[in-house]
Structures are given as C-alpha cells and as structure tokens.
Amino acid sequence: GAGVSQSPSNKVTEKGKDVELRCDPISGHTALYWYRQSLGQGLEFLIYFQGNSAPDKSGLPSDRFSAERTGGSVSTLTIQRTQQEDSAVYLCASSSQGLFWETQYFGPGTRLLVL
Amino acid sequence: KNEVEQSPQNLTAQEGEFITINCSYSVGISALHWLQQHPGGGIVSLFMLSSGKKKHGRLIATINIQEKHSSLHITASHPRDSAVYICAGLTQGGSEKLVFGKGTKLTVNP
C-alpha cells in the first residue's frame, strides 16, 4: 500500500513569506508526527496529532509555526514570516495507534530553503 | 533535561565486520527507538525497546535499563548497511515526545 507522502518535496522561498507543508499519512493511521532536521543537526520533534488533536504544541520552535490536521488524515504545517534559520528538511511520520512506542513510518520529507 | 548521546559519531568498517553503535540516555527516558537514515534521506524505524533485546535479521538491539544504555549491533556488515543510525529516547512523565541523538554515520567498505 501507499506510504507516507509529503509535498512539496522541495520548497525555496524568500525570507518573510509564508509556507505550507503537507503530509498524507498512511490510510487508517491514527497518529501523525512532524519532525525537523536542520543541516548538520539531529532530528527535532515538533508536534504530533492523535486523530485531529495535538496534545502538546510546546515542541514548535516559535509562534510562527502552526499545524493542523483535519478529518484524521492530511496534516499541514504552516510557517509564517519564514526566517533563514527555518531552512531544514521537515519530516512527517505516522503510526497506527498513536503510541510513541509503535513503529513510525516516515515520509520522504520536504526540503525547505529560505533565502 | 532529557538527553540522548550516541557514539561514535562516525564509523568506518570493512564488509563482514561486526558493528556496535552505542546510545546513552538520561533519567526521564523510558524507551528507545533505533532509526536508520539512508544516504538519500529516507528514514526507517528499526526497533523500539524498553527492556531486553530485539533481533531482526542481522540487526540486534539491546538495552540496559540500570545503566541507561542501549546498543545496536550489525553482524556480517555489508556496504548496503551504510547509513546514519539514530537513537531516539521516549520521554516519560507529562507529554510524551522523542528526543534524538545526533546520529552515527556508518560506512561499510567492500
């Protein structure tokens, strides 16, 4: 079956512009996770959804970052007024029941470059 | 502060060698994920363990709760094992989330 998909695969934007990143999880998966991997840095947890609800948003780097999930499926990560330090690969993953100790299936990522 | 530290940062081996990658974690971590990131960037979840040992093919993961230490072993390594291996700790208490190590870049030469 289809895996986790993300779009766009690459995004180049100018500083100050807003960007929207999309994640399509594996069909039927309850949980969806967003991560960020900056150049030369490790992975960083941003936010996760259990269904349409995000229990903890404290991992989002600033109030310019927001995420939503509708219909228990597609999720969108929005970055407003982008800054150069937002340049990174944004990864999405999903798991079947929403438990962190389950296997997570990762998407290919969206590579964001802010000029 | 929840922390996960990996060693070594880089590892080069010859095909067939036995590989060990180490992960130490702080108080507040209840379980560990081991992930593999391929050179193209794709990430695959290898293991999730909170105690004991798990094996999948040539990969073995162990965890020692008392010592707060986990190891990932690769037997009979092969060039296709070349990847970055990442250890991630699951925090306990309050909101759960994963805290990541910086990864170990493994290169297996033919």
Pick among A101, A102, A111, A112 to test the B interface (most B CBs inside 10 A): A101
**From B41, B96, B101, residue closest to A108, measured CB to CB:** B41
Q: Which amino acid is at B90?
A: L
> Would the CB atoms of B45 and A105 count as touching at under 8 Å?
yes
Q: Identify which of B30, B8, B37 has the alpha carbon closest to the alpha carbon of residue B20.
A: B8
Measured distance CA(A110)–CA(A91) in Å, rounded: 7
Q: How far is A107 from chain B (nearest CA, A)?
A: 7
* Residues of chain B found within 8 Å of residue A101, distances taken between Cβ atoms: 31, 48, 50, 90
Cβ count within 10 A of residue B80: 9
Measured distance CA(B20)–CA(B8) in Å, rounded: 9
> Would the CB atoms of B50 and A101 count as touching at under 8 Å?
yes
* Residues of chain A found within 8 Å of residue B45, distances taken between Cβ atoms: 103-106
Predicted pLDDT of residue A1: 55
For A23-62, what is each residue's pLDDT tens digit? 999 999 999 999 999 987 889 999 999 888 888 888 899 9
> Would the CB atoms of B97 and A100 count as touching at under 8 Å?
yes
> Would the CB atoms of A43 and B31 count as touching at under 8 Å?
no
Helices (H), chain B: none
* Residues of chain B found within 8 Å of residue A6, distances taken between Cβ atoms: none
Q: Exposed (0-12), middle (13-18) or buried (19+): which is B34, by Cβ within 10 Å?
A: buried
Predicted pLDDT of residue B57: 95
Q: Are the beta carbons of A53 and A61 closer than 8 angstroms?
A: no
Chain A residues whose C-beta is within 8 A of a chain B C-beta are 41-45, 48, 55-56, 58-59, 89, 91, 93, 100-106, 108-109
Measured distance CA(A100)–CA(B49) in Å, rounded: 11
For B2-58, what is each residue's pLDDT tens digit? 689 999 999 999 999 999 999 999 888 888 999 999 988 789 999 988 899 999 999
Predicted pLDDT of residue B84: 95
Q: Exposed (0-12), middle (13-18) or buried (19+): which is A44, by Cβ within 10 Å?
A: middle
User: Is residue B97 within a helix (H) or strand (E), and if so which, with residue range?
Assistant: none
Tell me how many residue pairs between chain A and chain B have CB atoms under 8 A apart: 46
For A76-113, what is each residue's pLDDT tens digit? 999 999 999 999 999 999 998 766 678 889 999 999 99
> Would the CB atoms of A104 and B45 count as touching at under 8 Å?
yes
Nearest CA in chain B to A89: B41
